[in-house]
Amino acid sequence: MRRSIRSLLVATAAAALVLPLCAATAANAAPPGFSNADKDALRNQAPRDLAIGSAVWGERDLVVYDPASPTELQQVLGDQFSSLTPENDMKWDAVHPAPGVYDFSSADALVAFAEANHQQVRGHTLLWHSQNPAWVNEASQTWTCDEARAVLEDHIRTVVGHFKGKIYEWDVANEIFQDTWDAGGVRLRTQANPFLRACAADPVALLEDAFRWAHEADPDATLFLNDYNAEGINQKTDAYYELAQRMLADGVPLGGFGAQGHLSLLYGFDTSIQANFERFAALGLNVAVTEADVRIPLQEGETGPTPEQVALQTERYDAMLEACLNVPACSSFTVWGFPDANSWVPAVFPGEGWATIFEDDFSPKPAFDAMLESLREATPGTSPRQG
């Protein structure tokens, strides 16, 4: 018979007194004044070695922060999550708006909030084809590979170095493979990504050096490849698997593979996510769900989803989390922001929405409840892979 929630909380609190300090235990520790006896929290029910995170836009939500009087979003963010991902604040256009000019103001506010609430931070992202500043898009049209390498190296060393010791996982290379494939297989985005385009003669060499530069700037951060449509076993993840094998054989400090987890009820669910994670874990890599949301198609005039849609969304959120819990190497599970009013989905996917785990009044949805129960069943405060 499952022990009562209260007895589990008591056992968890007692165990916390005798366990040695480590990054994971610090991340899942409750913030000062927080009592899990008073409210249920994802972060408190998670295994010690699994960070439960949310994306947040620091410039919008965290630059103004008074711990004595937090906004409702800030309260939920601090109470529920042990990890934060900057939704936009560490992307190129935010931190490197002009040549030689760096602006860490909003990213620093996010890190400060995380430190105040005993949370870790996932860095996102260092090499991507999107959200680059205008100066990069313009200058890259005439870059040689050496020029592109110099700009990228300066950026990575500067940004990772600025946050040294404050980031536990970095998405170094984001969405580097195309969505479509043919008889030739899945190809790198050598046309869309300005840096890969400039070094199209040997783009993998540039990728490998990007990881080396990041590792030299912060040897303690775990460095990830990250992409969408990368949950299950398919041609895209086959390409990542082959790339990971090559990078590891070349001695590159690759530490993890991240599946974003942006799902839609317009499509089926790939049940091979656990098997996919297991094969990357067998290479010695961490794995993670890095940007989870499940968008729902909404007809014009509808006030919300149907009960059937809600049930299916709940099932898919929980299935992603269960796959993570079942793989010892899964180090973090991150939802891509909340509430629905802050979600990127309606602007990018017209006609779809209701994608996060919180209503706009910050009340939890059924998906939240299902995830909380799955974390409880994984044994609060401990990990099945430690016992």
pLDDT digits (tens, 9 = 90+) for 266-323: 999 999 999 999 999 999 999 999 999 999 999 887 778 999 999 999 999 999 999 9
Structural domains in the chain (count): 1
What are the pLDDT digits (tens) for 27-57? 455 544 444 433 589 999 999 899 999 999 9
Q: Is residue 304 one of the residues assigned to a domain?
A: yes
C-alpha pair distances (Å), 237 with each of 196, 205, 240: 19, 20, 5
Q: Is residue 382 part of a domain?
A: no
Six-digit token string for 177: 């493979």
DSSP class per residue in 351-374: TEE--SSB-TTSPBPHHHHHHHHH
Residue 383 lies in a domain: no
Q: Tell me the pTM.
A: 0.89
Task: pLDDT band for 186, please (50, 70, 90 cuts).
Answer: confident
Q: Is the distance from CB of 102 to CB of 158 less than 8 angstroms?
A: yes
Task: For residue 254, give its domain range.
Answer: 5-377
| CATH number of residue 271's parent domain | 3.20.20.80
**Would 385 be classed as within a structural domain?**
no
> Cβ(168)–Cβ(122) under 8 Å?
yes
pLDDT band at 149 (very low <50, low <70, confident <90, very high): very high
Q: What pLDDT, on a 0 to 100 scale, did the predictor assign at position 300?
A: 80
Q: Helices marked H in the chain — which ranges? A: 5-18, 23-28, 42-45, 58-61, 72-80, 92-95, 105-116, 134-139, 145-162, 194-198, 203-217, 235-249, 273-281, 307-325, 345-348, 366-377
For residue 36, being part of any structural domain is answered with: yes
Residue 386 lies inside a defined structural domain of this protein: no
Q: What is the CA angle 164-385-226, rounded to 5?
A: 45
Contact 80, 370 (CB under 8 A): no
Confirm whether 96 is domain-assigned: yes
Classify residue 31 by its DSSP letter: P
Helix axes 203-217, 145-162, angle to 10 degrees: 30
Task: Evaluate if residue 364 carries a pLDDT over 90.
Answer: yes
Q: Which residues are catalytic?
A: 175, 291
pLDDT of residue 299: 84
In a domain, 387, yes or no: no
Q: What is the pLDDT of residue 305?
A: 96
Give dist(CA 237, CA 229) in Å, integer: 8
pLDDT tens digits, one per residue of 10-32 = 333 333 333 333 343 344 555 44
Tokens 């929405």 sit on residue: 353
